[in-house]
Structure 1
Amino acid sequence: MESTHGVINLIHLAETPGTSGRSVSVRVLGRFQPGILTGHDFLDCEIVIVAESINATFPVTLLPEDLEDWEDALADLASGRSAMWLDSGRTPSMKFKPDESGGLWVSVHDEPETGVTVTVPLFVLSSTWVAEQRDLLTRVREVYPREVVETSPGAYEWRRAPAPDGATEQWTAQRLPTDSTKPPTSGECAGRGPARVCPTSSCPGSSRPRWLPPPRPGPGTCRPGSGA
């Protein structure tokens, strides 16, 4: 993982200043494998929960499709409906449940690692909190645009790759193994170990397995604390 832009928020839900100080954030740390076609557009992130008696951090790698799903979840939340996000089982999942008073209950369930569920009530949110989250999503897409295109099943190219001295654009292709049971080589994974295959059932809209990055080391951590 490498970031040249610093840490930015994809999600930041916090009670207004002077209240409890509780917050739930998803922070983007950088691209998962910058410069590597098979991992360049993945984002290395962490879910961060801050409350009176607990601070919890859950590492998560986001795919471009996850950002699209978050946009859909925001549409549900704007209509006053509950929303689930990251519910494929590949990462910790998040559930957002508005209440009648204008607050929001946020739950994070770390199914892949610890099995822990943390729920945080946010009773005093800004009246424009949905619009604020949409602005954060727009910012993430601006800072980390999609730069890899799948030209055919298992073949990827850079969308834009400036040639030296300002010449015309050049394209670089990389083809993944045709055997869906064989992961990319260690060179393709930039020394991070073999990739995993995401079953078709957990990738809606896909007619074939997708290559996913190797799991990040270390489960989500929850440590008691005395405050935010």
Structure 2
Amino acid sequence: MIIGLTGGIGSGKSAAADRFAEAHGVHVVDADMKSRVVVEPGRPALARIVDRFGDDVLLDNGSLNRPALREVVFRDPTQRLWLEELLHPLIREEVVNDLASAESPYALLVSPLLIESGQHRMTERVIVVDVPESIQLARTAARDQVPLDQVRAIMEAQASRDDRLRQAHDVLVNDGDLAALHAQVDALHDRYLAMLSGDTL
């Protein structure tokens, strides 16, 4: 069974995924990490990105300057769509290969764009990590040291909170402390094991 886990920027997806992996041994595939792999130096995707946007999107060591690229594509929706059309099939291939290697009872596909990219169609259930937008803004601005306007632009490019919740089979509410999030993850894990064994909870 493949379970998708998503949430807006700053919602706490990584903290939830880490709990599934560290406390319960669940195989986690992070689509965001795969998105970094497909643009590593030497990969064809990076060459195409540089052809389109120029050397300004490269760091001195030849790797992708992600903040510089993000600034360009979130300013211009047509550029963002071009980038997504280039990267999404490549990311999907990496994700599929990694999921195929899972040995835990179920695997977790973590993706900020699970709904938007169609990756949710690879999953049998969807978990949404949900927080109020005010908390998303504050957490992300503090963590990434970026202006609130840039955080808002990223949030607008992602599915709305309502859209995500409509797709959810399970919701983790992450407006409290880490212990509260962990307790919800633990309960979900037990529920999934029961489902896999044929019991229903």
Do they fold alike, i.e. is TM over 0.5? Answer: no
User: Greater share of helix residues, 1 or 2?
Assistant: 2
Larger Rg: 1
Structure ranking higher on relative contact order (CA contacts 8 Å, 6+ apart): 2
